[in-house]
Amino acid sequence: MLQFLQNIFGQGSIWVYIIMTLPPLVFMIIFALAAVWLERKVSAHMQDRLGPMRTGYHGWLQTVADITKLLQKEDIIPVAADKKLYILAPYVVFIGSFAAYSCIPFSSQYIGSTISLGLFFIVAVSSFVTVGIMMAGWGSNNKYSLFGAMRSVAQIVSYEIPTVFVILSIVVLAGSINLQEIVQAQSGWFWNWYIFGGPGGWSKIILIPFILVSFLIYYVTSLAETNRTPFDIPEAESELVAGYHTEYTGMRFAFFFLSEYANMFAVSAIAATLFFGGWQSPFGDAIPFLNTPWMQVFWFIAKGMVFIFIQMWLRWTLPRLRVDQLMYVSWKVLIPFSFVNLLIVSLFVMLR
Amino acid sequence: MPEIKTEEMVLNMGPQHPSMHGVLRLELVLDGEIIIECTPHIGYLHRCFEKHAEAMTYPQVIPYTDRMDYLASMSNNFGYAIAVEKLMGIEVPERVEYIRVIMAELQRIASHLVAIGTYGLDTGAFTPFLYCFRDRERILELFEMTCGARLLYNYMWVGGLSHDIPPGFVEKTRDFVKYFRPNIKELNDLLSFNKIFIERTANVGILPPEVAINAGASGPTLRGSGVKFDLRKNDPYSIYNKFDFDICVGKGEMGTVGDCWDRYIVRCYEMEESLKIIEQAIEQIPEGDISSKIPKNVRPPKGEIYFRTETPRGELGYYIISDGTNSPYRIKVRAPAFCNLGILPYISKGYMVADMVAMVGSVDIVLGEVDR
């Protein structure tokens, strides 16, 4: 797509960059609208109720109504707030979660940026969100916000370590840190996906249990990174009212909300890319019309949505952990397991 | 390197806080997230029930008792009605006693469902809360069928009841018992024995039995500490001695005796026992008239009485002084939630802010009753 645009507008034209940026942004907004509605309906049906039913067919316009309401809200800045930090924080959070989309391959023809350090970049910018959350918590000048921000920083920093370890085990297998190349390495039938040991002979069967453990660890840590239940302690409503965004109203609040949902999809997309073949059709090239660039987008989003659904499922089933228990899970359970896992996978790759 | 200066932080939890169960304000002194001191401040819902009652006639006080513990209005009516009857020396018909016990036990289940559901909410589980409210709805329908009200019933009058049970009530109650039994198991699977839930509540907020007794705690809060004391058995009133049921106590199955999980699970087990009582009572209801003993003019002789009953929250006592007129000279209520709240400063020291929420929830207070 980059090449195509450069042919039209010429090398280095500003329009190339603008148009390249648009698809993830448009996707993110539509996705957030759909996911908020889905969250309501999923939770409703799990809880023996109907959820929104009045706005459109089965309430599908509910999120539009919500956004309209949020737009009309008064924009309140608390008197005692640190104004600069308070105003800037939602945008920093949003930028952090949006930047991750630049390296996610939506199809073989589209990836926001072709830098070869894609995975590294995503891990780096997702930590950027922490800065925004800290700014919001400190700038609000509210004790609950401060608590939420402190918890969030502690949580994201400690959960990044196991995340990186399990991501590294896939990087070792694929021999690349470029997400597009990792996906291409999984081409063919679905048993070439890394969750099934990746491409290769029968020897990969030894690898499958370790990859499964990697995937589980990645999924748990991704819940923590996106502040979802059972790790939603930074915004634990029964303890901290709303955590770091307690004081925010209107569109500023909506930005936090949007970036939370954007983050949810980002981590699901990375799970799909690393373990489930990204945009690859499960049937590979055996059925060619299922592997066209547009169908690839479909496969990619469908795989992502499965994980989104599981996130919602967990959210409406499990209670919340406490801060110290959260740290315990990360430092004493996930990190040793992911580290040993990485060593074994590396050993396997060396001996193969 | 200069030493880093740290200081304690004061956090006002409530009265506007999502998990403060009404308008309780807790003044927490914190060291980071560790609670050093906790002071409950009450009185945001004070409505002068006791003073009001002095200006009312005896029957007029009953609607006010509804509004004390608004999650267990039937039980509040019950205690007051018996107290005044004892003062006047009225014996109520057998049928009235049976209906009263059935209503009080249904109310106990309804109240425990709210306690359990909101406790799940406090620990972050949203779904059990709605399951509990769905089941509670069935009980409220039964109440609505009987007396028209869903929350504040004004049902048990001095000497009788406001209405007899309607046709179909007995069958519907039987249906409810049959419907609700499996749901307790579902609730236990979903919440009570959930690993995360146990991690959050076991070994948190431990209340030793001696402290519980000294603080005057009662109800599930006392029984959670392993003290086998239930007024329905230990000081039977009405016709509770006719039924076969157990007193559930906390045994420290998941942690230490008297922790939050014990206080919680006692409520789950008690719902089962209440079902047993309802099952027995519904089969034995005698025929009869429910309003034959309602006095035209409630005018107790000079004297005083203290009468206590077991509400879902514990020992509810009415102390009534009569000067021989048709309105009480003085009514004092010994509210279980008020006494139970007193243990909070003791049990909360050294735990974290997140545990505070779990502890408040496990004590199950209703601010309407604490402040009156």
pLDDT, tens only, A117-132: 888 888 888 888 888 8
Residue A11 lies in a domain: no
Residue A225 at interface with chain B, using a CB cutoff of 8 Å = no
The structural domain count of chain A equals: 1
Task: State pLDDT tens for residues A74-83.
Answer: 888 888 888 8
CA B244: distance to chain centroid?
21
Calpha distance B205→B218 (Å, rounded)? 16
Residue A301 lies in a domain: yes
Has residue A2 got a pLDDT over 70?
Answer: no
State the distance between the two ends of chain B, measured CA to CA, in whole angstroms: 56
Residue A223 lies in a domain: yes
Peptide bond just before B301 cis, omega within 30 deg:
no
Residue A45 at interface with chain B, using a CB cutoff of 8 Å = no
Has residue A68 got a pLDDT over 70?
Answer: yes
Q: For the residues A18-41, what does the mean pLDDT come to?
A: 84
Calpha distance B101→B78 (Å, rounded)? 9
Q: Are B237 and B231 in contact (CB under 8 A)?
A: yes
- Higher-scoring residue by pLDDT: B225, A190: B225
Residue B192 at interface with chain A, using a CB cutoff of 8 Å = no
Segment 117-136 of chain A within 8 Å of chain B by CB: none
In 10 A of CB B298, how many CB atoms?
Answer: 23
Which one-letter DSSP state was computed for residue A111?
A: B
Confidence of residue A33 (pLDDT cuts 50, 70, 90): confident
| The pLDDT of residue A96 | 85
| The pLDDT of residue B289 | 81
For residue A307, what are the domain limits?
Answer: 76-351
| The pLDDT of residue A1 | 65
Nearest to A319 among B9, B130, B194 (CB): B194
Distance from CA of B357 to the nearest CA of A (A): 6
Alpha helix ranges (H) inside chain A: 2-9, 14-46, 62-72, 83-99, 118-139, 143-174, 179-184, 208-225, 237-240, 250-275, 293-315, 323-328, 335-351
| The pLDDT of residue B109 | 92
Chain A residues close to B24, C-beta within 8 Å? none
B237: which 2 tokens? Answer: 């009133």
Topology of the domain comprising B52-343: Cytochrome-c3 Hydrogenase; chain B (1.10.645)
Residue A260 lies in a domain: yes
3-state secondary structure chain B: CCCCCCCCEEEEECCCCCCCCCCCEEEEEEECCEEEEEEEECCCCCCCHHHHHHCCCHHHHHHHHHCCCCCCHHHHHHHHHHHHHHHHCCCCCHHHHHHHHHHHHHHHHHHHHHHHHHHHHHCCCCHHHHHHHHHHHHHHHHHHHHHCCCCCCCCEECCEECCCCCCCHHHHHHHHHHHHHHHHHHHHHHHHCCHHHHHHHCCCCCCCHHHHHHCCCCCHHHHCCCCCCCHHHHCCCCCHHHCCCCCCCCCCCCCCCCCHHHHHHHHHHHHHHHHHHHHHHHHHCCCCCCCCCCCCCCCCCCEEEEEEEEECCEEEEEEEEECCCCCCCEEEEECHHHHHHCCHHHHCCCCEHHHHHHHHHHHCCCHHHHHC
Has residue A151 got a pLDDT over 70?
Answer: yes
Choose from A318, A325, A326, A328 for mutation: most chain B CBs within 10 A.
A318
Residue A347 lies in a domain: yes
Task: State pLDDT tens for residues A5-23.
Answer: 777 777 767 777 777 778 8
Residue A86 lies in a domain: yes
b vs e for A152-163, b when ≥16 Cβ sit within 10 Å of the residue's Cβ?
bbbbbebbbebb
Residue B45 at interface with chain A, using a CB cutoff of 8 Å = no
A37: which 2 tokens? Answer: 């509605």
Q: Are A104 and A269 in contact (CB under 8 A)?
A: yes
Residue A48 lies in a domain: no
Cβ-based neighbours of B313, under 8 Å, separated by 6 or more: B69, B72, B111, B218, B219, B220, B336, B337, B340, B364, B365, B366, B369
Kindly give the pairing relationship between strand B330-334 and strand B303-311: unpaired
Q: Are B330 and B184 in contact (CB under 8 A)?
A: no
Has residue A200 got a pLDDT over 80?
Answer: no
Confidence of residue A161 (pLDDT cuts 50, 70, 90): confident
Choose from A238, A246, A318 for mutation: most chain B CBs within 10 A.
A238
Q: Are B125 and A43 in contact (CB under 8 A)?
A: no
**Which range scores top for mean pLDDT: A14-18, A266-270, A280-284?**
A266-270
The residue length of chain A stands at: 352
Test B19 with A239 for CB contact under 8 angstroms. Answer: yes
Average pLDDT, chain A: 84
Choose from B26, B34, B123, B264 for mutation: most chain A CBs within 10 A.
B123
Each domain of chain B, given as residue ranges in start order, spans: 52-343
Calpha distance A153→A320 (Å, rounded)? 17
Q: Are B197 and A319 in contact (CB under 8 A)?
A: yes
Distance from CA of B117 to the nearest CA of A (A): 12
Q: What is the pTM of this model?
A: 0.85
Helix/strand/coil for A177: coil
| The pLDDT of residue B1 | 62
Task: State pLDDT tens for residues A204-244.
Answer: 788 888 888 888 999 988 888 887 777 777 776 677 777 78
Interhelix angle B94-122/B169-187, rounded to 10 degrees, is 30
Calpha distance A23→A102 (Å, rounded)? 10
Calpha distance B313→A41 (Å, rounded)? 36
Has residue A334 got a pLDDT over 80?
Answer: yes
Calpha distance B339→A118 (Å, rounded)? 61
ipTM of this complex prediction, to 2 decimal places: 0.79
Residue B285 at interface with chain A, using a CB cutoff of 8 Å = no
Helix/strand/coil for A241: coil
Choose from B192, B198, B353 for mutation: most chain A CBs within 10 A.
B353
Which one-letter DSSP state was computed for residue A101?
A: G
Q: What is the mean pLDDT of each run of 10 residues along chain B (372 residues)?
A: 77 80 85 85 86 88 88 89 88 88 91 90 86 90 89 87 87 90 88 87 87 89 88 86 86 84 90 90 85 79 89 90 88 89 87 86 86 83
Residue type, A344: I
Nearest to B17 among A49, A229, A241 (CB): A241
Helix/strand/coil for A204: helix
| The pLDDT of residue A275 | 87
Residue A255 lies in a domain: yes
Q: Tokens 């040793």 identify what position?
A: A336
Size of interface A-B (CB pairs under 8 A): 76
Calpha distance A165→A210 (Å, rounded)? 13
The residue among A149, A155, A61, A126 whose CA lies nearest residue A262 is A126
The residue among B364, B368, B291, B372 whose CA lies nearest residue B112 is B364
In 10 A of CB B266, how many CB atoms?
Answer: 24
Nearest to A229 among B33, B124, B191 (CB): B124
Chain B residues close to A322, C-beta within 8 Å? 199-200, 352, 354-355
Helix/strand/coil for A189: strand
